Structure 1
Amino acid sequence: MSDSNTTDLTNPFTFILLGIPGLEAAHVWISIPFCVIYLIAVLGNFTILFIVKREPSLHGPMYYFLCMLAITDLVLSTSTLPKMMSIFWFNSREIDFSACLTQMYFIHCFSTMESGIFVAMALDRYVAICHPLRHSTILTSPVVAKIGLAIVLRSGILVLPYPFLVRQWPYCRTNIIPHSYCEHIAVVKLSCADTRISSYYGLFVLFSVIGLDVFFIAVSYTQIIRAILCLPTKDARLKTFGTCSSHLCVILAFYIPDFFSSLTHRFGHNVPLHILVLIANVYLLVPALLHPIIYGVKTKQIRDRLLRLFTHKGT
């Protein structure tokens, strides 16, 4: 193993994931909250999918996008946590080079996809509040399907250069990744070539995709807030704003850790490595936990169906 870490690794057979560098002694303890978060996230997102599928009254644009978000969260968390647990529990740190590139693609593809879903959900709220009488004619099922397809294609195509660029770099320094999963920049930093194109392309995706998505979401909610303030009564304003509050909470839970994680990995040279890795793990796992909880508590239709389901089983 030591020889493979210092010789020519132009096409390394495996990478070695360290987990959370500097906290190896606490891996077992760290795994407990991570595992609990994952199990709750899986249960919560499958519950959302089950309720929406079971209830015909929920077969609308908002809930279709919510189902897309649940599937994305399941893929994101499942693409990282099982390998992470094998590192924490069994010290199984090796990952095949192709498997590493596949994991990298899934993580960044579905993260980008999740951002696109938030834009679609903001569009749905904008049409529902600003043009309520035209909502069913504007966001028809074919239109929702086309929006979903556009989100998937955009994410898949934009992230596709990541693994291809990583595959072409020579790895003659080490095959040890100081991370718990194959994060793009963490892998690129192992190369002994000039990898600025990978770093620049990653920043391009970060600012052009997520930056534009945040811009469109901000524009949508500016129009929504203007429409809410024009409502005649305080109760109507509070009720209408309540339908958007869950979406705003979910957006903050996703974008704030995303921007912080991406920028600190590139520019946070003074931030301890274990802090960077912990933030990156939290960014992938915690939103998947929070999304079904937030929507379950804040969305009356889902909350009522969930209570009815448990009440029916209890009787």
Structure 2
Amino acid sequence: MSCVQACVCDVQTRRIGTFISVQQLCPHCQFTRNWNSQPVLGSTPVGNLQLSVATYVNGASFYKLSKVFKAMNMQLCKYNTFRRHARMFIEPAIVSYWQKSQEGMLQKLHAEEKVIVGGDMRADSPGHSAKFGSYTTMDLKNNKVVDLQLVQSNEVGGSYHMELEGLKRSLELLKERGVTLDCIVTDRHLQIQKFLRESSITQFFDVWHIEKGISKQLEKAAKKKDCEKLRGWVKSIRNHIYWTAATSTTGPERVAKWTSILNHVQDIHSHDDPLFPKCLHPLRIAQYQWMAAGYVANLMDLIFDQVFVDPAPFTQELLKIPIPEDLCSQYERPDREEVISGYATRFNLAAV
């Protein structure tokens, strides 16, 4: 059938998030034509799915993204659509890929004689009010994540105990898969120290945590009256910590190199310890603010004797610091199952 007159077509548009479809229909000859701004898989526009994937895997906030789109007067899919994409496509793909990768890594580690791993926990909020924590175990030789464990605070009686529980679960998995540990590198968590000591597992402290603790004490001491001279040495001492850890092969050598800083800041570059008899840098004439012997002894006593020998008082002081109220307390409390599923699906295929 052909038109006997000029066609005046009806044009209809349909929007789904970033997707727009235009349909042209002639009421006389019934001619139709469709145009889509992006491909469609089943009933899912590909552009919407790709945007959800990009937002999810980059750790971006959907609500912040929606504000940007609104400011630019651009269309965006709803949050429920974003969560549906995550639940049906993104999270199953991530979990499946992770499990395949983890299986391959565990098989390689099983074939090695000694494995050095590092572990630490990341919580969903700072302070001691965290609800969830993910404990990560990494193979330090290859810099690859070996295991992830999600721990909920009410499982272990409080957020302070989550890190120990995450470590136990990771070590249990490695033991089940026949991985032989040489040592483990962690932070200075007191519960973890006790557990590893009782389990006869060799433990080393992460140098970053050591440097962070010492730097805080140095910065605090430098703010005291007549201690301004110390401020100019904080960066050098911080670098000396990393240099000591990177260039030493034994414990006594580390001690010799680390304690040499007490002489160095006094412009003394020869030391009594035969393991490190003198500084390695070339002698140079410079107008540094060198410290006097008594000045050094008073300030460094805090670092060497108190922090290393007994860190408990400092830990107690940190626990007394008031924690600001969580931002989420200003909003309506969400459904418990929905909150848990948002975390669990990243780690547990059964929850997807």
**Shared fold (TM-score greater than 0.5)?**
no
Larger RCO: Structure 1 or Structure 2 (Cα < 8 Å, ≥ 6 residues apart)?
1
Structure with the higher helix share, 1 or 2: 1
Structure number with bigger Rg: 2
Structure with the higher strand share, 1 or 2: 2
